[in-house]
Protein backbone atom coordinates (compact mmCIF):
# COMPACT_ATOMS: atom_id res chain seq x y z
CA UNK A 1 0.00 0.00 0.00
CA UNK A 2 1.88 3.01 -1.30
CA UNK A 3 -0.94 5.41 -0.58
CA UNK A 4 -2.65 7.98 -2.77
CA UNK A 5 -0.21 10.21 -4.62
CA UNK A 6 -0.99 13.69 -5.95
CA UNK A 7 1.10 15.89 -8.21
CA UNK A 8 2.07 18.63 -8.14
CA UNK A 9 1.89 19.51 -4.44
CA UNK A 10 1.75 23.20 -5.19
CA UNK A 11 0.74 25.13 -8.29
CA UNK A 12 0.94 28.88 -8.73
CA UNK A 13 -0.48 30.32 -11.91
CA UNK A 14 -1.90 33.49 -13.34
CA UNK A 15 -5.59 34.04 -13.73
CA UNK A 16 -6.85 32.77 -17.05
CA UNK A 17 -4.32 29.98 -17.39
CA UNK A 18 -5.20 26.29 -17.54
CA UNK A 19 -3.94 23.86 -14.92
CA UNK A 20 -3.97 20.08 -14.63
CA UNK A 21 -3.54 17.96 -11.53
CA UNK A 22 -2.84 14.26 -11.34
CA UNK A 23 -3.91 11.65 -8.80
CA UNK A 24 -2.64 8.09 -8.52
CA UNK A 25 -4.94 6.08 -6.24
CA UNK A 26 -4.14 2.97 -4.26
CA UNK A 27 -3.76 0.33 -6.94
CA UNK A 28 -6.56 -2.03 -5.90
CA UNK A 29 -9.10 0.75 -5.29
CA UNK A 30 -11.78 1.12 -7.93
CA UNK A 31 -13.33 4.32 -6.62
CA UNK A 32 -11.62 7.66 -6.96
CA UNK A 33 -12.88 10.98 -5.62
CA UNK A 34 -11.96 14.63 -6.07
CA UNK A 35 -12.64 17.25 -3.40
CA UNK A 36 -11.96 20.93 -3.02
CA UNK A 37 -11.03 22.39 0.34
CA UNK A 38 -10.82 26.07 1.16
CA UNK A 39 -9.37 27.58 4.31
CA UNK A 40 -11.39 26.78 7.39
CA UNK A 41 -13.74 24.41 5.61
CA UNK A 42 -14.12 20.70 5.21
CA UNK A 43 -13.56 19.02 1.86
CA UNK A 44 -16.35 19.63 -0.65
CA UNK A 45 -17.21 16.84 -3.06
CA UNK A 46 -16.49 17.56 -6.72
CA UNK A 47 -16.77 14.26 -8.58
CA UNK A 48 -16.08 10.56 -8.38
CA UNK A 49 -15.23 7.62 -10.61
CA UNK A 50 -15.98 3.94 -10.50
CA UNK A 51 -13.12 2.55 -12.55
CA UNK A 52 -13.08 4.73 -15.69
CA UNK A 53 -16.72 5.83 -15.43
CA UNK A 54 -17.46 9.25 -13.97
CA UNK A 55 -20.62 8.57 -11.96
CA UNK A 56 -21.43 11.90 -10.37
CA UNK A 57 -20.44 15.53 -10.61
CA UNK A 58 -21.22 18.23 -8.07
CA UNK A 59 -22.85 21.49 -9.03
CA UNK A 60 -19.56 23.00 -7.81
CA UNK A 61 -17.92 21.54 -10.89
CA UNK A 62 -18.51 24.25 -13.47
CA UNK A 63 -17.93 23.68 -17.17
CA UNK A 64 -14.38 24.99 -16.70
CA UNK A 65 -13.59 21.86 -14.72
CA UNK A 66 -13.10 18.45 -16.28
CA UNK A 67 -11.92 15.20 -14.79
CA UNK A 68 -10.87 11.99 -16.44
CA UNK A 69 -9.76 8.56 -15.38
CA UNK A 70 -8.58 6.75 -18.50
CA UNK A 71 -8.19 3.00 -18.08
CA UNK A 72 -9.49 3.26 -14.53
CA UNK A 73 -6.09 3.97 -13.03
CA UNK A 74 -4.78 7.50 -12.44
CA UNK A 75 -7.04 10.52 -12.77
CA UNK A 76 -6.55 14.09 -13.91
CA UNK A 77 -8.47 17.20 -12.95
CA UNK A 78 -8.19 20.13 -15.34
CA UNK A 79 -9.31 23.67 -14.69
CA UNK A 80 -9.55 25.94 -17.71
CA UNK A 81 -9.40 29.74 -17.60
CA UNK A 82 -8.63 29.79 -13.90
CA UNK A 83 -10.25 32.41 -11.67
CA UNK A 84 -9.29 33.82 -8.26
CA UNK A 85 -12.02 31.76 -6.66
CA UNK A 86 -10.37 28.55 -7.81
CA UNK A 87 -7.60 29.03 -5.25
CA UNK A 88 -7.94 26.07 -2.91
CA UNK A 89 -6.53 22.71 -1.93
CA UNK A 90 -7.63 19.97 -4.30
CA UNK A 91 -7.77 16.58 -2.63
CA UNK A 92 -7.98 13.17 -4.20
CA UNK A 93 -9.14 10.06 -2.38
CA UNK A 94 -9.73 6.43 -3.23
CA UNK A 95 -11.65 3.55 -1.69
CA UNK A 96 -12.42 -0.10 -2.38
CA UNK A 97 -15.25 -0.99 -4.68
CA UNK A 98 -18.83 -0.23 -3.76
CA UNK A 99 -18.88 -0.60 0.00
CA UNK A 100 -20.32 2.42 1.75
CA UNK A 101 -18.96 1.60 5.17
CA UNK A 102 -15.38 1.98 3.99
CA UNK A 103 -13.36 5.12 4.66
CA UNK A 104 -11.55 6.95 1.93
CA UNK A 105 -7.80 7.18 1.66
CA UNK A 106 -6.58 10.68 0.90
CA UNK A 107 -3.58 12.06 -0.88
CA UNK A 108 -1.74 15.12 0.45
CA UNK A 109 -3.48 17.38 -2.03
CA UNK A 110 -2.49 19.97 -4.60
CA UNK A 111 -2.60 23.55 -3.39
CA UNK A 112 -3.57 25.94 -6.17
CA UNK A 113 -2.83 29.63 -5.91
CA UNK A 114 -4.15 32.02 -8.55
CA UNK A 115 -2.26 35.29 -8.90
CA UNK B 1 -30.50 14.59 3.27
CA UNK B 2 -27.37 13.70 5.17
CA UNK B 3 -25.39 16.41 6.91
CA UNK B 4 -22.77 16.87 9.60
CA UNK B 5 -22.45 19.68 12.11
CA UNK B 6 -19.33 20.19 14.17
CA UNK B 7 -19.85 22.41 17.19
CA UNK B 8 -16.96 24.78 17.70
CA UNK B 9 -14.56 25.73 14.95
CA UNK B 10 -11.74 26.00 17.52
CA UNK B 11 -11.09 24.09 20.73
CA UNK B 12 -8.19 24.81 23.05
CA UNK B 13 -7.05 22.47 25.82
CA UNK B 14 -4.03 22.16 28.06
CA UNK B 15 -1.62 19.30 27.60
CA UNK B 16 -2.87 16.36 29.67
CA UNK B 17 -6.48 17.58 29.71
CA UNK B 18 -9.51 15.85 28.24
CA UNK B 19 -10.21 16.44 24.56
CA UNK B 20 -13.87 16.60 23.48
CA UNK B 21 -14.79 17.45 19.90
CA UNK B 22 -18.49 17.51 19.13
CA UNK B 23 -20.24 16.17 16.04
CA UNK B 24 -23.93 15.83 15.26
CA UNK B 25 -25.24 14.24 12.12
CA UNK B 26 -28.43 14.04 10.16
CA UNK B 27 -29.15 10.93 8.17
CA UNK B 28 -32.25 9.32 6.72
CA UNK B 29 -30.59 5.91 6.76
CA UNK B 30 -28.36 4.16 9.30
CA UNK B 31 -25.20 6.21 9.13
CA UNK B 32 -21.63 5.23 8.61
CA UNK B 33 -19.63 7.79 10.57
CA UNK B 34 -15.96 8.72 10.52
CA UNK B 35 -13.48 11.02 12.18
CA UNK B 36 -10.48 12.19 10.17
CA UNK B 37 -7.48 14.27 11.24
CA UNK B 38 -5.61 16.71 9.01
CA UNK B 39 -2.18 18.11 9.76
CA UNK B 40 -0.98 21.24 7.95
CA UNK B 41 -0.39 20.79 4.24
CA UNK B 42 -1.43 17.17 4.35
CA UNK B 43 -4.44 15.13 3.35
CA UNK B 44 -6.94 13.60 5.74
CA UNK B 45 -6.06 10.55 7.80
CA UNK B 46 -8.68 8.21 9.26
CA UNK B 47 -8.86 8.24 13.06
CA UNK B 48 -11.79 5.88 13.54
CA UNK B 49 -15.08 4.75 12.05
CA UNK B 50 -18.49 3.54 13.14
CA UNK B 51 -20.40 1.19 10.88
CA UNK B 52 -22.44 -1.27 12.94
CA UNK B 53 -22.09 -3.07 16.26
CA UNK B 54 -20.40 -1.58 19.29
CA UNK B 55 -21.28 2.05 19.76
CA UNK B 56 -17.99 2.95 21.44
CA UNK B 57 -15.32 2.95 18.79
CA UNK B 58 -11.61 3.11 19.48
CA UNK B 59 -9.22 4.64 17.02
CA UNK B 60 -5.59 5.51 16.59
CA UNK B 61 -3.54 7.77 18.87
CA UNK B 62 -5.77 7.09 21.89
CA UNK B 63 -8.93 8.65 20.43
CA UNK B 64 -12.38 7.15 20.75
CA UNK B 65 -15.90 8.13 19.79
CA UNK B 66 -19.35 7.07 20.90
CA UNK B 67 -22.28 6.73 18.53
CA UNK B 68 -25.50 7.87 20.22
CA UNK B 69 -28.46 7.36 17.95
CA UNK B 70 -30.93 9.05 20.29
CA UNK B 71 -28.82 12.20 20.27
CA UNK B 72 -27.64 11.84 16.64
CA UNK B 73 -24.14 12.45 17.94
CA UNK B 74 -20.69 11.03 17.37
CA UNK B 75 -18.40 13.01 19.67
CA UNK B 76 -14.65 12.41 19.65
CA UNK B 77 -12.72 12.16 22.91
CA UNK B 78 -9.23 11.55 24.22
CA UNK B 79 -8.51 11.34 27.95
CA UNK B 80 -5.21 13.20 27.88
CA UNK B 81 -4.16 15.66 25.19
CA UNK B 82 -0.66 15.66 23.78
CA UNK B 83 1.04 18.46 21.90
CA UNK B 84 1.13 16.27 18.80
CA UNK B 85 -2.70 16.18 18.77
CA UNK B 86 -2.84 19.77 17.56
CA UNK B 87 -4.50 19.52 14.14
CA UNK B 88 -7.82 19.93 12.33
CA UNK B 89 -10.42 17.27 12.93
CA UNK B 90 -13.28 16.42 10.60
CA UNK B 91 -16.40 14.42 11.30
CA UNK B 92 -17.92 12.77 8.23
CA UNK B 93 -20.83 10.60 7.15
CA UNK B 94 -21.02 8.29 4.15
CA UNK B 95 -24.19 8.66 2.14
CA UNK B 96 -25.89 6.27 -0.29
CA UNK B 97 -23.92 6.39 -3.52
CA UNK B 98 -20.79 6.29 -1.42
CA UNK B 99 -20.05 9.98 -1.24
CA UNK B 100 -18.73 11.37 1.99
CA UNK B 101 -20.14 14.52 3.56
CA UNK B 102 -17.70 16.36 5.82
CA UNK B 103 -18.28 18.78 8.64
CA UNK B 104 -16.58 22.16 8.58
CA UNK B 105 -13.86 20.95 10.93
CA UNK B 106 -12.63 21.76 14.42
CA UNK B 107 -9.13 23.04 14.95
CA UNK B 108 -7.62 21.68 18.15
CA UNK B 109 -4.99 23.75 19.97
CA UNK B 110 -2.96 22.16 22.77
CA UNK B 111 -1.29 24.46 25.28
CA UNK B 112 1.84 23.47 27.12
pLDDT above 80: residue B29? no
pLDDT above 70: residue A99? no
Chain A residues near residue B101 by CB distance under 8 angstroms:
45
Whole-number Å distance between alpha carbons of B59 and B64 = 5
- Helix/strand/coil for A45: strand
Question: Picking from A19-23, A57-61, B11-15, which range would have the lowest pLDDT averaged per residue?
Answer: A57-61
Closest by Cα among B18, B23, B105 to B62: B18
Question: Picking from A9-13, A28-32, A33-37, B77-81, which range would have the lowest pLDDT averaged per residue?
Answer: A28-32
Partner-chain residue, chosen from A99, A100, A108, that has the shortest CB–CB distance to B43? A108
pLDDT score, position B20 = 98
CA distance A78 to chain B (A): 20
Selected residues 42-71 of chain B with any CB under 8 Å from a CB in chain A: 42-46, 49, 51-52
Whole-number Å distance between alpha carbons of B68 and B8 = 19
Chain A residues near residue B100 by CB distance under 8 angstroms:
33, 43, 45, 104
Q: What pLDDT, in 10s, does the model give residues B47-73?
A: 999 988 888 999 999 999 999 999 999
pLDDT above 70: residue B83? yes
Amino acid sequence: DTGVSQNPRHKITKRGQNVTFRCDPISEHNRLYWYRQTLGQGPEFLTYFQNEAQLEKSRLLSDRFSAERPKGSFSTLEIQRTEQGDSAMYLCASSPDGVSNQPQHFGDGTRLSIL
Amino acid sequence: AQSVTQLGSHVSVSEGALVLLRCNYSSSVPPYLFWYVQYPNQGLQLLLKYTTGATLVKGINGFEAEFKKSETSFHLTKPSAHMSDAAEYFCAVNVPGFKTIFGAGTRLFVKA
